[in-house]
């Protein structure tokens, strides 16, 4: 990893530490909150439930609702990389619970404070299948071929070296597992000055790729059948879009 990559990862971590630890307001006005979550596809019943348990919506920063189109079978093991407070873990439990299923989700984030807050929320919600691990997503403390489903919501773009993070999630994904990622995408490569905008790395902008380069990078890292869903352009010029990417480790994936 070169010096710039390390500097970016350090800056992003520091950025979220300040938000989660010191309740510092982000320098960029980013969408967050209840209405935003509903607009991304989180059902009102779920949003009502976590709101009643006093989730801090100011610490929830999804780019999409990656589990929206996924049905969860009993005992499915989920890894939520860059989980923050764990919104998608709570959603997985809520969604699967409607069908009497019981998933287990491990949330991984680099900032311990947000994991502690998520764990307190899990206790208030009586959510028993949710666990918390403080680690770097690019060096996951898990063995190979463990998870049925890996979620990355608003964190893929944070990593300057996409091959490193993709190879790492590929390693821990089961052979029949699925990667499901929500993030920002761009219609054309961003001008070079964006790469030096450290805060824009934290907000998933500087690291955003075009759909074509996403497809190629996923393929080069071994993923198959990569497809986009729920792509929504965010500006009149159609430079940035928000969307979800699904990809399989092999063609026997069943989720």
Ligand X SMILES: C[S@@+](CC[C@H](N)C(=O)[O-])C[C@H]1O[C@@H](n2cnc3c(N)ncnc32)[C@H](O)[C@@H]1O
* Shortest Cβ 56–ligand X spacing (Å): 11
The per-residue DSSP string of 41-71 comes to T--HHHHHHHHHTT--GGG---SS-TTTT--
Which distant-in-sequence residues (6+ apart) come within 8 Å of 1 by Cβ?
Answer: 161, 164
The size of the interface with ligand X (CB under 6 A), counted in residues, is: 23
* Contact code string over 192-231 relative to ligand X, x by CB under 6 A: ----------------------------------------
| 90 interacts with ligand X by CB under 6 A | no
Q: Could you tell me if residue 174 is left (phi over 0), alpha (psi between -120 and 50 degrees) or otherwise beta? A: beta
Give the up-direction half-sphere exposure of residue 147: CA atoms within 13 A in the CB hemisphere.
25
What three-state secondary structure class fits 113? helix
**Which C-beta is closer to ligand X: that of 107 or that of 253?**
107
Among 5, 11, 13, 36, binds ligand X (CB under 6 A): 13
Sheet (strand 240-248) strand order: 130-134, 104-109, 77-81, 147-153, 173-186, 240-248, 224-233
| 9 interacts with ligand X by CB under 6 A | yes
DSSP state of 107: E
d(CA 15, CA 20): 9
**Which C-beta is closer to ligand X: that of 104 or that of 158?**
158
Stretch that binds ligand X, among 44-52, 59-67, 90-98, 123-131 (CB under 6 A): 59-67
| 66 interacts with ligand X by CB under 6 A | no
Based on the number of CB atoms within 10 Å of its own CB, is 28 exposed (0-12), middle (13-18) or buried (19 or more)? Answer: exposed
| 243 interacts with ligand X by CB under 6 A | no
Stretch that binds ligand X, among 35-43, 103-111, 210-218, 235-243 (CB under 6 A): 103-111
Stretch that binds ligand X, among 21-29, 42-50, 153-161, 184-192 (CB under 6 A): 153-161
| 132 interacts with ligand X by CB under 6 A | no
Q: Residues of 173-194 as b/e, b for ≥16 C-beta within 10 angstroms?
A: bbeebbbbbbbbbbeeebeeee
* Shortest Cβ 28–ligand X spacing (Å): 11
* Shortest Cβ 252–ligand X spacing (Å): 28
| 84 interacts with ligand X by CB under 6 A | yes
| 130 interacts with ligand X by CB under 6 A | no
Based on the number of CB atoms within 10 Å of its own CB, is 217 exposed (0-12), middle (13-18) or buried (19 or more)? Answer: middle
| 18 interacts with ligand X by CB under 6 A | no
| 158 interacts with ligand X by CB under 6 A | yes
| 111 interacts with ligand X by CB under 6 A | yes
Pairing of the two strands 130-134 and 104-109: parallel
Binding site for ligand X (CB under 6 A): 9, 12-13, 16, 60-62, 82-84, 87, 108-111, 114, 136-138, 153-155, 158
């Amino acid at each position: 990893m070169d010096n710039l990559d390390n500097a970016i990862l350090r800056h992003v971590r520091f950025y979220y530490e300040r938000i989660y630890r010191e309740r510092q307001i982000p320098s960029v006005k980013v969408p967050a909150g209840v209405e935003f979550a509903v607009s991304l596809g989180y059902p009102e019943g779920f949003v009502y439930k976590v709101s009643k348990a006093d989730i801090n919506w100011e610490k929830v920063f999804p780019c999409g609702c990656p589990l929206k189109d996924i049905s969860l079978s009993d005992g499915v093991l989920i890894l939520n990389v860059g989980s923050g407070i764990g919104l998608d873990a709570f959603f997985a439990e809520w969604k699967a619970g409607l069908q009497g299923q019981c998933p287990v989700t491990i949330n991984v984030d680099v900032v311990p404070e947000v994991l502690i807050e998520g764990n307190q929320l899990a206790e208030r919600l009586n959510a028993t299948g949710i666990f918390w691990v403080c680690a770097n997503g690019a060096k996951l403390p898990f063995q190979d071929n463990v998870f049925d489903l890996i979620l990355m919501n608003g964190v893929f773009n944070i990593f300057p070296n996409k091959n490193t993070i993709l190879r790492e999630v590929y390693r821990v994904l089961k052979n029949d597992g699925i990667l499901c990622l929500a993030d920002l995408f761009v219609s054309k490569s961003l001008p070079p000055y964006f790469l030096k905008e450290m805060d824009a790395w934290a907000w998933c902008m500087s690291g955003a790729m075009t759909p074509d380069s996403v497809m190629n990078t996923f393929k080069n890292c071994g993923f198959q059948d990569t497809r986009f869903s729920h792509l929504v352009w965010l500006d009149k010029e159609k430079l940035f879009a928000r969307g979800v990417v699904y990809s399989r480790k092999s063609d026997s994936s069943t989720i």
